[in-house]
Amino acid sequence: MITAEQKPMQEIINCIAPYDRILLVGCNECVTVCSAGGRKEVGLLASALQLHFLKQGKTLDIKEVTLERQCDPEYVEELVNYMDQVDAVVSMACGCGVQTIAARYREKAVYPAVNTKFMGASERQGIWAERCQGCGDCVLGLTGGICPIARCSKRLMNGPCGGSTKGKCEISPDVDCAWQLIWDRMKALGIEKRYEEVMEAKDWRTSRDGGPRKIVREDLAS
């Protein structure tokens, strides 16, 4: 999923300070799962903002909506009836959601209330970790199901480096060495031989380096 964290309160306050009527929009997808911008967080943020502005002597009118999916124009359309009742929109979705709203409602300023972080997975309750950088040419089949691009600090394709100690990365004892994990997994699978194969310099065209990306499915596109 796409993970996110709420922005510092002061930053959100600064963005909306000039406005009296705000539409606060959550998303039922990834940001709900990582507890950053779902219905619950929308309610909490709305209360916190109202309280803050009340202390300043201003009654902030906040309308709360949580869409099924903010990155889908079909759901974003549901906001149309709110737009003449608000001065600005604050989105608690990832950057994809913010931009879908901005593209549809051009006359309204849209502010993000969360920082979109990474594509990650839940390690345990309350902990998410980066797992994928969307390079567009998956190498997990060659690396025992562990991604060196997302998980090796140096993005080495032929690791580990000299900074790998007792399975940990030199940048922090809390960070696993991805290449240690890859090696352990290859051994467990009985495919250590594969480790000896030199991985070629990666072709980054399929990643962001090839320019902003788009998927066009002719069979589905209308």
Containing H/E element for 140?
Answer: none
* Binding test (CB under 8 A) with another protein, winner from 58, 187, 205, 213: 205
Residue 209 makes contact with another protein by CB under 8 A: yes
Q: DSSP H helical segments within the chain, as ranges?
A: 9-16, 30-33, 39-55, 73-76, 95-104, 148-151, 178-189
Residue 133 makes contact with another protein by CB under 8 A: no
Nearer to another protein, 185 or 202 (CB): 202
- The interface region with another protein, picked from 1-9, 44-52, 96-104, 196-204 by CB under 8 A, is 196-204
Residue 210 makes contact with another protein by CB under 8 A: yes
Sign of CA dihedral 77, 87, 98, 54: negative
* Binding test (CB under 8 A) with another protein, winner from 201, 212, 215, 217: 201
DSSP string, 81-115: GGGGG-SEEEE-S-HHHHHHHHHH-TTSEEEESEE
Q: How far is the CB of 206 from another protein (least distance, A)?
A: 9
Please return the burial class of 169, using the count of CB atoms within 10 Å of its CB with bins 0-12, 13-18 and 19+: buried
Q: Is 66 left (phi over 0), alpha (psi -120 to 50) or beta?
A: beta
Residue 213 makes contact with another protein by CB under 8 A: no
* Binding test (CB under 8 A) with another protein, winner from 59, 211, 217, 220: 211
Residue 134 makes contact with another protein by CB under 8 A: no
Q: How far is the CB of 218 from another protein (least distance, A)?
A: 22
Structure tokens at 133: 């950088």
- 180 SS3 class: helix
Residue 202 makes contact with another protein by CB under 8 A: yes
- Minimal CA–CA distance to 98: which of 86, 107, 88, 89? 89
Nearer to another protein, 17 or 204 (CB): 204
* Binding test (CB under 8 A) with another protein, winner from 40, 103, 203, 213: 203
Q: How far is the CB of 113 from another protein (least distance, A)?
A: 27
Residues forming contacts to another protein in the complex (CB under 8 A) are 201-205, 207-211
